[in-house]
Structure 1
Amino acid sequence: MTEMVYGALPVQAGEPILPKWWRTLDKWTMSCVLMLFVIGLLLGLAASVPLAERNGFDNFHYVERQAVFGITALVAMVITSMMSPTLVRRLAVIGFICAFVALALLPVFGTDFGKGATRWYSLGFASLQPSEFLKPGFIVVAAWMIAASQQINGPPGTLMSFGLCLTVVLMLVMQPDFGQACLVLFGWGVMYFVAGAPMLLLVIMAAVVVMGGVVAYSSSEHFARRIDGFLNPEIDPTTQMGYATNAIREGGLFGVGVGEGEVKWSLPDAHTDFIIAVAAEEYGLVLVVILILLYTAVVARTLFRLMRERDTFIRLAGTGLVCTFGVQAMINMGVAVRLLPAKGMTLPFVSYGGSSLIAGGIAVGMLLAFSRSRPQGEIADFLRGHGRGHGHQTGPARGHGRG
């Protein structure tokens, strides 16, 4: 009868890990991420060739490196997605501590690679950006703290997580890296909202953020220059924004053709921050819409699955991770079409960058681990069971009917 109603067999004791992982995995989300990676390699074939020639490398030097980084990221994603939420949380705590220490030591051992912001460690064969690995670790740690504060006689986890958030944001602003600081603050704000924060407090926080932006504008020449460029109604055609805007305009609906784009020869960051301009010029609006739909599918599907999750920690951590993922993509594309000031932020799984790809793989792996179907994991079943006043067994069967 259970099979006829729910279409899934009950969990069997001692089920092998791979069949259990595959059965409970959100395969649509994983498929969307794989498609984003493939599109990133396709765009890298076009966008990175001019940079490779300028630096004296083989034409596909950066594409080959992106493939290596991407495969590493996908392996990390799959391994992380097989873990239990408890194990993910423990590893996230360790990863956050390591990334936090690395971030704190950047002023001493870091480098700016001539970009005006000390964000990286130079490893010789590659570079490492600690803030990319800090984000998923911080979100999981903050979710753990907020969830603990909601337990009876629990610690003041919400206040502790807010203090930790402000510390991380301050360290990022000092680099300066306002984009990553905004993402960290946004991730914490989303989790706090889902946990039941009063709207008035969120409005006050938004006002504080605006005031912080005013202070940053008056005290940071780097920040002020980007804001002034964004507010200026005239676009200098010789700037990165000018080249990107013209490329998007030239692409039209179907693009100018594969390999026929010109913006990749002018933009130094065509393979990273402005990869969407290359996509729009060579493949047109069609590919841009496909990218938007893929990101939207990941965010929407994960949020719908998390809405049925009973565990507070899983619900908060998953929401923070997926919303940060989606907003980062939105910011990158918003900058390219001049809806937002320049942030220096990559497009997840599409832009070139080892730290971004591998950290993104770990973050999505955590997300997949949190959104997997689990027995009695849906809040709707929990509420129905209490409403009837009996211990019905609909939860376990429904928990495995998804995926």
Structure 2
Amino acid sequence: MAGPSRVDSSALSRWWRNTDRVTLACVGLLIGLGYVLMLAASPSVAARIGASRNMFILKQIIFLLLAGGIVLVVSSLSRNTIKKLAFVGGIIALGATAMTLVHGMEIKGARRWISLPLMSVQPSEFLKPCFAVVTGWLLSARRTVVLKGNIAFPGMLLAFASFAAILVLLKSQPDIGMLSVITMVFMTQLFVDGLRLYWVGLCVASMVGAFGAAYIVFPHVRSRVQRFLHPDVGDHYQIDTALRAFGNGGLLGRGPGEGRVKDLLPDAHADFVFAVAGEEYGLLLCVGIILIFGTIVIRTLLKLMREDDPFVIISASGLVTGFGLQAFVNMGSTLHLIPTKGMTLPFISYGGSSAMSVALTMGMVLALTRHHVGQGKVSQRVAQSYKPGSLLERHPQ
């Protein structure tokens, strides 16, 4: 079907012409795969817990419809509106994450969820996109905003303060996986902003030290690492079952509905949905899923190389880093490439909080990378303020 005419000046037409339609199509494919794999994986899980076989399917239909709407609405917003949305959303998500420590549901020893009438919400999921955009503004504003008395805006200090607040909250839940992703997002943004290499080395060393401390302090982290490094230690039932599912699927899979892994794993519709895809639809679909995620990440980074607005570059880099890392953690842990971590596969795994937070992420990415007439050009003074070596440095035209 043809898109709107180029002479059509309506808001919908401008959005369609200026939005990255390849990335938008990839998001649509992931949502479609989410429906297909939920039909394959969830009935067995629901029957095993004594619920209606269609319970998860019906809920996920609503979640993915909302997610698709969020992507379309947020992608049509202006950059300034995205900034305001991130500030307001970040404050709400930070407050709700703090509330989980007092009124949160305790599941497997962690308080990460708030119970609502129709669903449970994990507020920290919404911290990722909001934090990335807020940090992008703080880091870029320190070179463009001057306070009274000719004092530079303390953007770097405020960015670190925001990260420290999130660190304390997620460590208290605890949610080391989410904290690791947000830490990697922050480190990526600092690197893109032009952090000198010796500071990058110091940050990497600090992260290694933090993981070592988590290994010592948190028993569940220590157990997962030991089981990953030593196959003869602990219970490997879930990983072994997932790996057998990939082997059973082969190149083309056993066929829709013919898989067995969904009958054996309690989280087949969530953390191990990639194994369901591998068993029923084979290696080709798994490679296709990886290519879709890779296309979104690489295409966004390539578009940012042609961007001149530091706020857009830093923010979108953080957003797409979090999106790609979440997909890698899910697929990597299912394939036993990294220690197991309960993290959803974006748009494909079951979960309302995950679907809507990832939709917010991709909506923001599409909005920030949308072509804006008269926008995206940074002044020569701002461009020159970035120190040599920064990824934001631009050569004179």
TM-score computed with the length of structure 2 as normaliser? 0.89
Partner residue of 1:288?
Answer: 286
Is 1:132 matched with 2:132?
Answer: no
Partner residue of 1:39?
Answer: 33
Please state whether the residue corresponding to 2:105 is helix, strand or coil. Answer: coil
| CA distance, structure 2, for counterparts of residue 236 and residue 247 of structure 1 | 21
Q: For 1:164-183, what aligned pairs fall within 5 Å after superposition?
A: 164-183=162-181
- Identical columns (%): 40
| CA distance, structure 2, for counterparts of residue 307 and residue 382 of structure 1 | 17
Q: For 1:138-217, what aligned pairs fall within 5 Å after superposition?
A: 138-151=131-144, 153=146, 154-217=152-215
Answer whether contact 1:376 1:382 (CA < 8 A) is retained. Answer: no
CA deviations 1:300-346 (Å, max 9, x no partner) are 11111111111110111111101111111011100001111111100
CA deviations 1:335-366 (Å, max 9, x no partner) are 00111111110000110000000111111111
Is 1:90 matched with 2:84?
Answer: yes
Unaligned runs of 5+ in 1: 1-7, 387-403
Is 1:67 matched with 2:65?
Answer: no
Q: CA deviation at 1:177?
A: 0.8
Answer whether contact 1:253 1:286 (CA < 8 A) is retained. Answer: yes
Match of 2:230 among 229, 232, 250: 232
Match of 1:344 among 342, 351, 355: 342
CA deviations 1:73-98 (Å, max 9, x no partner) are 11111111111000010011000000
Partner residue of 1:303?
Answer: 301
Q: CA deviation at 1:199?
A: 1.2
Structure 1 residues 234 and 285: alpha-carbon distance in aligned structure 2, compared to 1, 3 A threshold:
farther
| CA distance, structure 2, for counterparts of residue 187 and residue 308 of structure 1 | 21
Partner residue of 2:386?
Answer: none
| CA distance, structure 1, for counterparts of residue 11 and residue 159 of structure 2 | 34
Answer whether contact 2:19 2:370 (CA < 8 A) is retained. Answer: yes
Q: CA deviation at 1:166?
A: 2.3
| CA distance, structure 2, for counterparts of residue 213 and residue 235 of structure 1 | 20
| CA distance, structure 1, for counterparts of residue 117 and residue 50 of structure 2 | 17
TM-score computed with the length of structure 1 as normaliser? 0.88
Q: CA deviation at 1:256?
A: 1.7
Unaligned runs of 5+ in 2: 147-151, 384-397
Q: CA deviation at 1:180?
A: 0.7
Answer whether contact 1:77 1:364 (CA < 8 A) is retained. Answer: yes
Is 1:330 matched with 2:332?
Answer: no
| CA distance, structure 2, for counterparts of residue 150 and residue 124 of structure 1 | 46
Once the two structures are overlaid, the 10-residue window that deviates more, 185-194 or 242-251, is 242-251
Q: CA deviation at 1:233?
A: 2.9
Answer whether contact 2:188 2:318 (CA < 8 A) is retained. Answer: yes
Q: CA deviation at 1:378?
A: 5.7
Please state whether the residue corresponding to 2:111 is helix, strand or coil. Answer: coil
Please state whether the residue corresponding to 2:336 is helix, strand or coil. Answer: coil
| CA distance, structure 2, for counterparts of residue 168 and residue 352 of structure 1 | 25
| CA distance, structure 2, for counterparts of residue 141 and residue 43 of structure 1 | 34
Is 1:79 matched with 2:39?
Answer: no
Answer whether contact 1:310 1:382 (CA < 8 A) is retained. Answer: no
Is 1:276 matched with 2:270?
Answer: no
| CA distance, structure 2, for counterparts of residue 234 and residue 41 of structure 1 | 37
Answer whether contact 1:252 1:285 (CA < 8 A) is retained. Answer: yes
Q: Which runs of 4+ in 1 moved over 6 A?
A: none
Partner residue of 1:30?
Answer: 24
Say what the alpha-carbon RMSD is for the aligned residues.
Answer: 2.0
Q: CA deviation at 1:56?
A: 2.8
| CA distance, structure 2, for counterparts of residue 160 and residue 199 of structure 1 | 22
Match of 1:361 among 359, 362, 378: 359
Structure 1 residues 50 and 208: alpha-carbon distance in aligned structure 2, compared to 1, 3 A threshold:
same
Q: CA deviation at 1:377?
A: 4.7
Please state whether the residue corresponding to 1:356 is helix, strand or coil. Answer: helix
Structure 1 residues 150 and 335: alpha-carbon distance in aligned structure 2, compared to 1, 3 A threshold:
same
Q: CA deviation at 1:237?
A: 7.5
Please state whether the residue corresponding to 1:309 is helix, strand or coil. Answer: coil
Match of 1:55 among 49, 53, 76: 49
CA deviations 1:24-58 (Å, max 9, x no partner) are 01111010011011111111111111111123333
| CA distance, structure 2, for counterparts of residue 238 and residue 146 of structure 1 | 43
Once the two structures are overlaid, the 10-residue window that deviates more, 56-65 or 291-300, is 56-65
Answer whether contact 2:227 2:235 (CA < 8 A) is retained. Answer: no
| CA distance, structure 2, for counterparts of residue 311 and residue 250 of structure 1 | 49
| CA distance, structure 2, for counterparts of residue 110 and residue 211 of structure 1 | 29
